[in-house]
Every structure is written in structure tokens, then in C-alpha cells.
Structure 1
């Protein structure tokens, strides 16, 4: 059995919370509610100093556990215990962050953890630096359904042009990952297929994860009461059975001009992923111009962040890669004890 971290990625409103719950229902896997500290901690890594120094690890652990922006409280972990485990653990950034998720899995007596955040699809290079043995599941949904759903979210304050850009970015990132990553690291799954035949799709996904299929993953209602915070009312559908009720609902939820724009800007990407176009009229020129400008600005912002990160990699105060799982340790050149399973070795540390 594997102990590799699992990350669920995709465009927002593509069903990633549903998949999180399906995975959390597996007897060996725990996937918590969305946290808000993994990537921000990575980008601030220089400010935390050399994590090989015990007091630096303590300071970082106390920030993760104490700052309201991190959502640590939703994991329901004991703060003092968490800080102590970080202090006693390896002096790398990934190890500090991984300890949080490992402790969450321990709450449910599960040996394996995952994390879900749609935007991770554009940050896989960072996640692989932190967790070099990680596996990624990219859930893909019809871009028109994602755009229509994003528009209705109370937390989404941008316009349809940004929503269209967000889906395009997720698909383009997935195309790059498919070319770059090994088959045992990156997996794509369509929301429509998952909701149409959840048992078959979860069996295939479990095979990718090197896990036995468990029927509980097909009906994750009970997991929703634990892994979806009550205040996230926009995830209310996850408290029921897996359903296809929202598939294709974009036809009634998008305005005509939005359908035309989606199909003209996203058409090639939609068809490449098995989605049929409706044959809507061509989009208005002013809408196309605005959408392309939006996409260009977002691309420029991503490039600036990437350049800053490349510079910061030259001045890192301590190692980044986690040293918690068996494969992470092997990749770092740490041999496993003889006659001891990786899982037992991990538990013993």
C-alpha cells in the first residue's frame, strides 16, 4: 500500500469538493477541508529562516496554528501537540507542512493524507518541491458549467471574462502536466464520467492511487459532515448522493452572449475533452477583445510570480522537500530499515 500524498486539483466549481469527500470516505485516506497555508508558507519561506533550527520550526508551527488566515482550526488538531510534533520532526519546509496533514489523517486512524484546492493545478511544481512523491488528480468539468457556477458563488467577485480565463488556465495547466509527469503521478478524471458511473471511475482512480477500491467512496454523504465546514453553504449538494443533476445546466444559467463567448474562446479545449458545442452564434468583437485582454493580464501576473519564485529558490534558508513518507526518504537518500514496512517505519518516527 502507498503512503504518497494526494492532491485534488482543477478549476473551481468542477466538483473537487465532491471528489475530496469520496476520497475521504476511503478507509485509508483522509482529505481535510481546504486549508489556506501551504502555498503562502512556501512563498514566505525565507522569512521563517533555517528550519533545521528547532526554534525556527516552532515559530513556523505556531504561526500555522495561530493565524486565522490558515484555517488550521477547521482541522480540529491540538495546537500544542502539533507544535511539538513539528519541533521533533525533520527540519525541512515540506516536513513541517506535511506534519499538519499527517496529524489530520491520524485523527481518523488513516495512514494516508490528501489535500484539495483547485488552484493547485497551476502550482504543481511548488507542490512537487514540497512533496516529491505526490500524486495529482485533475478533475475536469465542462467549462460552461464551471463558468455558470462560478458566477453564482458568494465568494466570487470577478466577472465572466475571468471565469472563462480560469477554466482555460486549468485545462492548459493539465495539458502541460500530462506531458511532463509520469503516469503514476498525474491522473485526469471527468466530472461527467464520475457522476454517471461513480463505482467504475473510483475503481480506476483507486488503481492509480495503488489502493484497493472500497464501496464507501461511492456514497460520501457521511464524510461531508466531517470534511465540509458548515459555513460553506455553496457545498450543500455534497451532503447528498453523487448526482448528475447539474450536468449541462449551463444552457439555462448562462446568458446568450456568455455561451457564445465560452464556445468561441474555449471551443478547442471543450472539444478536446469530449464536450460538444451548441453551435451558438459568434461572440461579439468587444467581448472577445475584453476576454483576451483579461487572459493576457492574468498570464503576465503568473509570469511575474514565477520569476520571483525562481529568484527566491537561489536564496532558500533550508531544505524544502518533506522527509516523512517512505518514498520521500528514499528520494533523499535515506535508506529504509530492513524487515520493516514503510508504513510501520513512518508510524515509528
Structure 2
């Protein structure tokens, strides 16, 4: 049976939580809410040392479970048991991180796990280092709706230019993934198609994932009760049925100058993904200049992180790839798993 990890990616406010819950409703897949420890743990790997030492695996697990910046508590796992199983896991960074997700899947009696965080769309090289056999599902939504929704979020404290830039970056990252990743690794679907005909779209997605379609995956409202943290009030729509009610609402939620900016700055990207433009006028020169300056600044920050990571890779203290699934272990030349318990690791 397929045991590859599944990552749901996309621009923020593109419907990734809805898709997370639809996948979580499948009888074999458990997709966690945003955990906030995968990327930080990767960048902090030198701090924790060689993961072949069980004491280091325990220290990393304690950080994952206890640090205030992570969302480990929202997984509903027993802290002590997670630390114990992480210390017993194979000696690699990805194995310690993956143990939390494996235990989350076990909590629901499922054999396959997934994770959702929109920003992962720009972090797939990092994720592929940790989980070489991962599959990525990119949910694409009209950039104008994404910008409108982002502006309304209580946690979003940036301006319209950053929101427009975020969608542009997600589309550019997705285009690169489409060019570079194998067909069985990267999959795109549109929010509008998913909400219009969830059965057809979930059947196609299940085929990509190597899973049988289950009707439960088009009724995610039950999963929302256990998989959406109660404090995330901006996800209240996920507690109902899949709906198209928010499709195209950018026409009333964006100001005229914002519509003009979106279509002037994102026009080629929108058309390339099947979205029609309105008759909005050309954006003001100062707005386009502000967008381009924001995009350049964000790009510069990303390049700096990439360069720092390349330097850190020269000084890595121990193995990075997870050794928890059959695919991961085969890539490392190890024998398949003999069971699900932490005590059965071999190799």
C-alpha cells in the first residue's frame, strides 16, 4: 500500500484548509493542521547535532513538543510518548519530525499522513530533503480572490502589495515544480473546479495519490470538528459543506485600484491559469512600482535564506532524509518496515 507523505501547498487563502479536511476525511489519510515545526527544525538542525545519537533525537523532540512557536499541542498527541518514540526512531532529522505525523495518523487509525501549509509551495526542496518520496498537491485559486481574502484575515498585517506578491510567488514556484518534478510527485488542481464538482476532482486527486476514492472526502465538515483548532475562527467556513459561495467575490471585496493592480501585475499569470480579466484600467504607475519593489525585496530575502542553507548543508551534523516509509528506506538502501511500532525499526 502507498505510504508516501502528502503535502498540501498553495498561496495563503487559496482553500488549502478545505482541501486538508477533504483529504483528512479519506479513510487512509490523516492531514495535520499547520504544525509550524518542520521548517524551523530543519534550519535548527546544527543546534541539535547528529540524529544518529538518540539523545539528540530526544532533545529535538522536546523542542518540537515544548517550544512556544510550534503547534505540536494541536496534534492531540501525548508529549512523553512522542519523545519516547522519536528517541527510538531511525537516526535522521526527517525521521524525528515524521514521527509526530506518523503518530497523528495513528491517532485516527490511518496508515498515511499529510501536512498542510501554504508557504510550503516555496519550500519543496527542503521538504524533499526531509521526505524524498513526498507527493505535493498545489491548490490554485484566482489571485484576486486570494488577495481579497488575505486582506481580511486577523493575522495578516501586511499590505496589498505583499498580498499580490504572495500569489505571484506561489504561481511562479508552482510553474517551476511542474517543470522539475515527476508526474507522480506534483499535482495541480483549481479551487473553482474543486468547489464546483468535488466528486470528480477528488476522484482525480485520489488517482494521483494512488488511493481509492471514498465519498467521505467530499463531506469534510465532520473532519473539521477534530482537525481544525477551535481558535482558528477564520476557518469557520470549513465546518459546512463544500461551496462555491466565495468564488469571484473579489469584485466586491477589492477596491478599484486593487483590482487594477491585480490585473496589471498578475495578468499573464491569471490568464495562463484560465482566469479571465475584467475591464479594469491599467494600474497607476506608483502602484505598479510599489508592487515591483515589494516583489524584489521578498525575492532578495528568499535568496539570502537559500544561500545560508547551502552553507549549512556543508556543515550538517548528520543524516537528513526520513527513514519511515518503504520509499524512504528503499532510497537509502534499507529493508522495508516490519511494522508500525517504534520498537521495530531496522537498519
Q: TM-score, normalised by structure 1?
A: 0.97
Indicate the SS of the match to 1:70.
coil
Indicate the SS of the match to 2:32.
coil
Q: Distance in 2 between matches of 1:13 and 1:91?
A: 36
Q: Distance in 2 between matches of 1:232 and 1:335?
A: 41
Deviation at 1:32, TM superposition (A): 1.3
Does the 8 A contact of 1:165 with 1:295 survive in 2?
Answer: yes
Aligned pair count?
A: 343
Indicate the SS of the match to 1:69.
coil
Indicate the SS of the match to 2:18.
helix
The residue that corresponds to 1:242 in the other structure is 242
Aligned 1:168-247 pairs, distance under 5 A: 168-247=168-247
Aligned 1:269-284 pairs, distance under 5 A: 269-284=269-284
Q: Distance in 2 between matches of 1:70 and 1:288?
A: 36
Q: Distance in 1 between matches of 2:279 and 2:311?
A: 46
Q: Distance in 1 between matches of 2:242 and 2:333?
A: 43
Does the 8 A contact of 1:92 with 1:320 survive in 2?
Answer: yes
Q: Distance in 1 between matches of 2:284 and 2:68?
A: 44
Q: Distance in 1 between matches of 2:194 and 2:259?
A: 24
The residue that corresponds to 1:7 in the other structure is 7
Does the 8 A contact of 1:9 with 1:120 survive in 2?
Answer: yes
Q: Distance in 1 between matches of 2:212 and 2:153?
A: 36
Q: Distance in 2 between matches of 1:44 and 1:289?
A: 36
Point out the more displaced range, 170-179 or 53-62: 53-62
Deviation at 1:346, TM superposition (A): 4.6
Q: Indicate whether 1:147 and 2:131 are aligned.
A: no
Q: Distance in 2 between matches of 1:288 and 1:55?
A: 53
Deviation at 1:345, TM superposition (A): 4.0
Q: Distance in 2 between matches of 1:20 and 1:169?
A: 21
The residue that corresponds to 2:267 in the other structure is 267
Indicate the SS of the match to 2:114.
strand
Q: Distance in 2 between matches of 1:141 and 1:26?
A: 23
The residue that corresponds to 2:313 in the other structure is 313
Can you give the 5+ residue segments of structure 2 that lack an aligned partner in the other structure? Answer: none
Q: Distance in 2 between matches of 1:98 and 1:106?
A: 12
Q: What is the RMSD of the two structures over their aligned residues, measured on CA atoms? A: 0.9
Q: Distance in 2 between matches of 1:261 and 1:109?
A: 47
Q: Deviations over 1:43-100 (max 9, x none)?
A: 1110111111111111111111111211111111111111110111111000000000
The residue that corresponds to 1:112 in the other structure is 112
Q: Distance in 1 between matches of 2:5 and 2:125?
A: 14
The residue that corresponds to 2:292 in the other structure is 292
Does the 8 A contact of 1:326 with 1:346 survive in 2?
Answer: no
The residue that corresponds to 2:253 in the other structure is 253
